[in-house]
């Protein structure tokens, strides 16, 4: 089943001719307290029809030069560690072809699958922005879950997680010892009379080529009111977009994923915010890949 075209009603582009490809990944296995991540890609694509494709702040329209949306990936839930292999293969295929993959999750667990493809590509690290530090070894018996995603990733490629405002004692200890834990949310928010952590902290220790993994639960509930995102103290939208810009200025970003949306019937705001962040990521990647100004810049 096809979920539609991201940023429709623009005409569909042949993936072979696109500079960037959107990959819907409706993986949803462990978010029992607030299920719904499997419909998130379709909700984001639907909301994207209301998004202005020209990013006014960056002066970029990422649909320029071609943007394609693939059919949703299919996952088998029969196994734990192997369930996400289709995503690893999809990201690897698009990145090797020179296209920019933007994955729409799905729960944050999908990072464990993405990392499989990144390891095969080689010399690629992961910049992770998330609300809950995913450094646990297992969660309710599962090795692949949102709370373990960073740990599974670190077993395969270098990763740095920042923006979190919740962590178990075990996850924090492991992440600190492995130098995986970057600045928490309280050190990244822009506030009067407060000097936030240096942007270099987001990418410290990572190679020059990175993949961006954004779990939208990094946002404060005031910016993203939705089930499962209740803890105060998250990032403001402006904080997050500033950090995304800093990542792209400091590393070559070869792909990205957007996870953690839990849609609620009748509430379109969270999906719209996710779609707008997807556009911003694509606009930043467009600026990085095509330094010559596009129309209007």
What are 142-190's pLDDT values in tens digits?
Answer: 888 899 999 999 999 999 999 999 999 999 999 999 999 999 999 998 7
Residue 242 domain flag: yes
Residue 4 domain flag: no
The helix (H) or strand (E) run that includes residue 269 is helix 269-289
Q: Quick one: DSSP state of residue 260?
A: -
Q: Please give the pLDDT value at position 3.
A: 73
Q: How many domains does the chain have?
A: 1
What are 238-296's pLDDT values in tens digits?
Answer: 999 999 999 999 999 999 999 999 988 889 999 999 999 999 999 999 999 998 654 54
Burial classification of residue 178, based on how many CB atoms lie within 10 Å of its CB (0-12 exposed, 13-18 middle, 19 or more buried) = middle
Angle between helices 269-289 and 237-250 (to 10 degrees): 20
Residue 5 domain flag: no
pTM, full prediction: 0.95
Residue 3 domain flag: no
Residue 25 domain flag: yes
Residue 296 domain flag: no
Most distant CA pair in the chain: distance in Å?
52
Please report, for the domain that includes residue 180, its CATH number.
Answer: 3.40.800.10
Name the average pLDDT for the chain: 92
Which domain, by its residues, includes 188? Answer: 15-289
Helices within 27-164 (DSSP H only): 40-48, 85-96, 111-121, 149-154
293: Cβ–Cβ under 8 A, 6 or more apart, which residues?
59
């Amino acid at each position: 089943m096809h979920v539609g075209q991201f940023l429709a009603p623009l005409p569909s582009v042949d993936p072979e001719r696109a500079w960037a490809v959107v990959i819907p990944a409706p993986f949803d296995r462990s978010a029992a307290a607030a299920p719904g991540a499997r419909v998130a890609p379709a909700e984001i694509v639907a909301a994207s029809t209301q998004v202005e494709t020209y990013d006014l702040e960056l002066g970029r329209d990422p649909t320029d030069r071609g943007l394609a949306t693939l059919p949703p990936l299919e996952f088998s839930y029969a196994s734990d560690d192997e369930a996400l292999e289709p995503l690893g293969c999809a990201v690897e295929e698009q990145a090797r072809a020179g296209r920019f993959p933007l994955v729409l999750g799905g729960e944050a667990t999908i990072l464990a699958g993405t990392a499989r493809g990144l390891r095969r590509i080689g010399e690629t690290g992961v910049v992770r922005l998330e609300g809950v530090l995913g450094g646990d070894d297992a969660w309710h018996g599962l090795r692949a879950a949102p709370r373990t995603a960073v740990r599974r990733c670190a077993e395969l490629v270098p990763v740095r997680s920042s923006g979190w405002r919740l962590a178990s004692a075990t996850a924090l200890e492991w992440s600190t010892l492995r130098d995986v834990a970057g600045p928490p949310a309280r050190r990244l928010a822009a506030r009067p009379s407060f000097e936030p952590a240096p942007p270099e902290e987001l990418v410290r220790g990572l190679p020059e080529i990175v993949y961006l993994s954004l779990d939208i639960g990094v946002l404060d509930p005031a910016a993203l009111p939705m089930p499962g995102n209740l803890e105060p103290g998250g990032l403001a939208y402006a904080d997050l977009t500033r950090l995304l810009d800093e990542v792209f200025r400091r590393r070559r970003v070869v792909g990205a994923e957007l996870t953690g949306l839990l849609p609620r019937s009748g509430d379109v705001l969270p999906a719209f915010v996710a779609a707008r962040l997807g556009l911003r990521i694509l606009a930043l990647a467009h600026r990085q890949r095509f330094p010559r100004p596009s129309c209007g810049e």
